[in-house]
Amino acid sequence: MFKPNHSEITSIVAAMSSIGASLTLEHAGVAVGIVTALVTCVVNALYTIRKDLREQRLADKQLRMRQEQD
């Protein structure tokens, strides 16, 4: 198992902080907007899939009920 030493951890933290320091408020806003759009897209896709499944189950149930009446 990989176990980083002190200098590697310091290097990773320094790299992350330099990336954070280089972001302006505008860049951070754009990044948050992109992440929000992607999350919204995924949630909408999941909702649509579940809605389609619910509607399909309802249609199947209604079809069975009509067939039983005939």
For the chain, the straight-line distance linking the first and the last C-alpha, in angstroms and rounded, comes to 67
Cα 27 to the center of its chain, rounded Å: 21
Q: How confident is the model at residue 21 (pLDDT cuts 50, 70, 90)?
A: confident
Provide the residue ranges of all domains of the chain, joining segments of one domain with +.
Answer: 25-70
Q: Output the CA torsion 37→43→45→50 (10° steps).
A: -170
For a pLDDT cut of 70, what percent of the chain falls above it?
Answer: 97
Does residue 1 register a pLDDT over 70?
no
